[in-house]
Amino acid sequence: MDFQTRLYELDEINSCLYDIGFTKLSVYSSYEKVIAENNQTEKFLYECSF
């Protein structure tokens, strides 16, 4: 299997998520729901709702 990794900047994917119908987005930097504030994090976790 071939896998590809795409690294996103903070807020870069937000417009795509809004375009497909999500109305509320929260972006966290950890599973403890610490709000992501900049690109100096290992991962972005998105919580999306309609």
For residue range 17-45, list pLDDT tens digits in order.
999 999 999 999 999 999 999 999 889 99
Within a 10 A sphere around the Cβ of 40, how many other Cβ atoms?
8
pLDDT confidence of residue 12: 92
Task: State phi, psi for 31 to the nearest 5 degrees.
Answer: -70, -10
Instruction: Residue 33: name the closest of 22, 47, 19 by CA.
Output: 47
pLDDT at 5: 83
- Average pLDDT (1-7) is 81
Residues 6 or more apart from 8 whose CB is under 8 A from it? 44
Q: Give residue limits of the domains in the chain.
A: 14-49
pLDDT higher than 80, residue 1:
no
Contact (Cβ atoms closer than 8 angstroms) between residue 48 and residue 22: yes
